[in-house]
Amino acid sequence: MDWWRSFFRQESTHSRLIGVTALAALTLAITFVLPPVANSELAGGAAIAIVILGLSWLIGWSGQISLGNSGFMAVGAYAAGIWAHHHNTTPLVFTLALAIVAGGLSGLIIAIPSTRLRGPYLAGLTLAFAAAVTPIAQNFTSVTGGEGGIFLNSLVTPSWFGHLFSGANAVINANAQWTADLAVVVAAVSFFFMANLFHSRTGRAMRLVRDNDVAAELMGVDLLRTRSSAFMIAAAYAGLGGALYSLLEASVRPETFPLTLSITLLTLMVLGGIGTLSGAVIGGIIYSFSADLVAHVNSLTGVNPTSNLGANMQGIIFGVLLILTMMFAPRGLVSLRTPIQKLFRILRPRRQTPDLGELH
């Protein structure tokens, strides 16, 4: 089991690269068997997983809370959307890079006052930011398209990819799978960068700042710079995720980024597990199939999905899950040990090593 453990502890860049590539390859393989609807859902989930990862980094590693990630998503999405609307031949990589820069800049602007704040003040300030973004997008009609938003050309499936498909629904299948594969690849690249960041000098400094900022300062860590860079990175991830999500949807609209999206993001992050890569993956998967999940709960409980209760079931379930997870398993689903893992523990008792990545 040793190779297994060292693999999942991601002790070297090499193992991280192999791990992320393996997971991405597995997901890409799965997209070949999924129906087109599930592939579209998966694409959205991959985009959201990127945002969750940024939030996870911010809360789990730097100890700063943000309720404004839906706002950063909107900034990235509008930057990419406005650019793509006027220059629709730009390569996707460039558009996404623009979203990363725009998201990061907005994060930096929020970070400047934020780094002097703690816990509740910070949460409130970021919430106020997220609440302000949607009305601004609705008001500046000439740039953002107002209520209706901006419509974009849908992503072009390359012809070599289209040739892989045949049959009646070849085009639909190819398009759905291409968007899913694209999103998975972008997510894999961002996960790889974050995995390295977790174990870098900055990552270690960040944990020290989170646990004891006085000690960190004594050791020569620049608190202001460390805290604001954490914010900037989280916002850049949100910007990238938001842009990717909007490009997949082929439109940027204010109603994609309501305040409740911040709550959903927080729920998914807490559910998966704060400050872990696998937690963000789990969060993304739950997001992808949350509609199916809710429909399943509705049919199990016999609630009419078109009734008021059925339409609001998702909000109720997510809220209850967030409360229950935070109260009874604050480290999320990744912390729940399966019976098989417990069995291995009993068979091979190991020396307990302190896990620094743990949220205290």
Partner 1 sequence: MSAFLTSSLMHNIFGGLAQGVVYSLVALSLVIVWQSTHVLNFAQGAMAMFATYIGMTEIDRGIGYWWCVIISVAVGMIVGGLTERVLIRPLYGKPEINPIVVMVGFLGVLEALSAAIWTSSTRNIAEPFSQIFYHANGNLVYLSPFIIFQIILAICIMLLVAALFRFTRLGLQLRASALAPEVSRLLGIRVSRMLTIGWMLSAGVGAIAAVIQASGSFGLFPTNMDGIFVAGFIAAAVGGLESPIGAVAGGLLIGLAEQFILAYWSPNVAPLGGIIILVVALMIRPQGLFTKHAGRRV
User: What's the min distance (Å) between Cβ of 267 and partner 1?
Assistant: 7
User: What's the min distance (Å) between Cβ of 248 and partner 1?
Assistant: 25
Instruction: Considering only CA atoms, give the Rg of the chain.
Output: 21
Q: Which is nearer to partner 1, 2 or 355 (CB)?
A: 355
Q: Which is nearer to partner 1, 142 or 341 (CB)?
A: 142
* Cα–Cα nearest to 332, from 288, 291, 281: 281
d(CA 291, CA 63): 31
Output the furthest CA–CA distance in the chain (Å, rounded). Answer: 67
User: What's the min distance (Å) between Cβ of 335 and partner 1?
Assistant: 14
Q: Which is nearer to partner 1, 191 or 257 (CB)?
A: 257
The count of other CB atoms within 10 Å of the CB of residue 108 is: 16
Contacts of 60 by beta carbon, 8 Å cutoff, 6+ apart: 274, 275, 276, 357, 359
User: What's the min distance (Å) between Cβ of 340 and partner 1?
Assistant: 30
The count of other CB atoms within 10 Å of the CB of residue 136 is: 14
CB < 8 Å & 24+ apart, contacts of 133-141: 133/70, 133/71, 133/74, 133/75, 133/257, 134/74, 134/254, 134/255, 134/257, 134/258, 134/259, 137/74, 137/78, 137/254, 137/257, 138/254
Q: Which is nearer to partner 1, 154 or 304 (CB)?
A: 304
**Where along the sequence are the contacts to partner 1 (CB under 8 A)?**
59, 63, 65, 67, 113, 116-121, 123-125, 127-129, 131-132, 135-136, 139-140, 213-214, 259-260, 263, 266-267, 270, 308-309, 311-316, 318-323, 326-327, 330, 359-360
Q: Which is nearer to partner 1, 129 or 198 (CB)?
A: 129
d(CA 139, CA 180): 33
* Cα–Cα nearest to 270, from 317, 337, 323, 197: 323
User: What's the min distance (Å) between Cβ of 331 and partner 1?
Assistant: 11
User: What's the min distance (Å) between Cβ of 183 and partner 1?
Assistant: 26
Q: Which is nearer to partner 1, 57 or 178 (CB)?
A: 57
User: What's the min distance (Å) between Cβ of 165 and partner 1?
Assistant: 40
Residues, the chain: 360
Q: Which is nearer to partner 1, 17 or 131 (CB)?
A: 131
Contact between residue 247 and residue 79 where contact means Cβ atoms under 8 Å apart: no
